[in-house]
Structure 1
Amino acid sequence: MIYTFRFISDEEESFIMDVNINHDQTFLQLHQIIQERLGFDPGQLTSFFVSNESWEKLEEITLLDMGTEQAHIMENTPIEMFYHQKNERLLYVFDYLAERLLFGSIVRLIDAESPIPLPTVSKLEGITPEQSLHCDFEDDEFLMSDHDEDSEAFGYEDELPEDLEDFNPEPGNDY
Structure 2
Amino acid sequence: MIYKFRAILDAEEDIFRDIAIESNNTLEDLHNALTNAFGFDGTEVGAFYTCANDWAWHEEDGIPMFDTGDIPGEIKTMSEYAIDELVHEQNTKLVYVYDLFSMWTFFVELAAIENKEANETYPALLFSHGELPA
Q: Which amino acid aligns with 2:17?
A: M
C-alpha distance in structure 2 between counterparts of 1:21 and 1:12, whole Å: 27
Q: Which structure 2 residue ranges, 5 or more long, are not aligned?
A: none
The offset of 1:42, in angstroms, is 1.3
Structure-2-length-normalised TM-score: 0.84
Quick check: which one's strand share is greater?
Answer: 2
Tell me the equivalent position of 1:36: 36
C-alpha distance in structure 1 between counterparts of 2:50 and 2:117, whole Å: 25
Please provide the CA RMSD for this pair: 2.0
More RCO (CA 8 Å, sep 6+): 2
Aligned residue pairs total: 129
Tell me the equivalent position of 2:111: 107
C-alpha distance in structure 1 between counterparts of 2:133 and 2:27, whole Å: 21
Which of 68, 83, 100 is the matching residue for 1:79? Answer: 83
C-alpha distance in structure 2 between counterparts of 1:107 and 1:87, whole Å: 11
Residues 57/73 of structure 1: CA separation in 2 closer, same or farther (3 Å cut): same
Which of 67, 71, 79 is the matching residue for 2:69? Answer: 67
Q: Which structure 1 residue ranges, 5 or more long, are not aligned?
A: 131-175
User: Mapping of 1:17-56 within 5 angstroms?
Assistant: 17-56=17-56
Structure-1-length-normalised TM-score: 0.66
- How many percent of aligned residue pairs carry the same amino acid? 26
**4+ residue runs over 4 A deviation:** none
